[in-house]
Amino acid sequence: MDSSTLAYVARDTGYDIIALHFTYGQRTQAKEQACARTIARMLDAEEFVEISLEYFKKIGASSLTDTGMAVEEYTGEREALPSTYVPFRNANLLAIATSLAEARRAEAVFIGVQTGDYPGYPDCRPEFIEAFQRAVDLGTAADPGITLMTPFIRMTKAEILRVGLALGVPYRETWSCYQNNDRACGVCSSCHYRREAFRACGIPDPIEYEE
């Protein structure tokens, strides 16, 4: 949901889109792949690049990639480190995105981190993005340099949704659920925050949920 909105913001800002999608053994990999391809097509992306990071399944320690671990239901009390945290995932994703950007002579890498991610996901914090930008500046030969773009970093989910609605983002083609590929579970934290955002905006969520 956030990444799709981000892509529409990037296009609206004037960027041509190279769509980058990662599979890393996540439970909802099939649904995410289908949605990513659809959004890229609707955006007339210049390229759709799919990268497999199956090593995250071997690393483990996340309920997104280890089916032996349970995905927590939202309870209102967020753990310091939720089971859905994939160790240092965003650093891996940003490193590959930066490699692609340098190879394609792209000027920017967009990532959809937002305020709701900070408590349980340390690699979503502004301080992490700032540190990674420094690494990009030091570790690439790109000229002009590559800028990490985080337009949502001070925004809530509802605020992001309002931006997306204004841009015509097709939310029926997006997916947020952590555990189902058909009907969203409606009880994981990702489903909860998505549904709360739609409620705050006063409109129905167009995807289907389990009863």
Tell me 51's DSSP state. E
| pLDDT over 90 percentage in the chain | 93
| Beta bridge pairs of residue 188 | 73
Looking at per-residue pLDDT, the higher value among 210 and 118 belongs to 210
Question: Is the predicted pLDDT of residue 211 greater than 90, yes or no?
Answer: no
Q: How many CB atoms lie within 10 A of CB 107?
A: 13
Query: Which tens digit of pLDDT belongs to each residue from 148-175?
Result: 999 999 999 999 999 999 999 999 999 9
The predicted structure's pLDDT at residue 118: 75
Residue 50: closest CA among 39, 66, 65, 36: 36
Peptide bond into 82 cis (omega under 30): no
Closest CA to 70 of 27, 119, 33, 122: 27
7-23 average pLDDT score: 98
Domains of the chain: 2-156 (3.40.50.620)
Angle value at C-alpha 189, between 94 and 133, nearest 5 degrees: 20
Give residue-wise pLDDT tens across range 54-95.
999 999 999 999 999 999 999 987 667 999 999 999 999 999
Please list the residues that pair with 21 across neighbouring strands. 50
With beta carbons less than 8 A apart as the criterion, state whether 178 and 189 touch.
yes
What is the mean predicted confidence (pLDDT) over 45-51?
Answer: 98
CA torsion, ordered 181, 160, 91, 17, to nearest 10 deg: 80
Helix ranges (DSSP H) in the chain? 2-13, 29-42, 55-59, 89-103, 126-139, 157-167, 189-201
pTM (2 decimals)? 0.95
Question: What single string gives the DSSP state of each residue in 124-150?
Answer: GSHHHHHHHHHHHHHH---SSPPEEE-
Q: Residue 79: what pLDDT?
A: 60
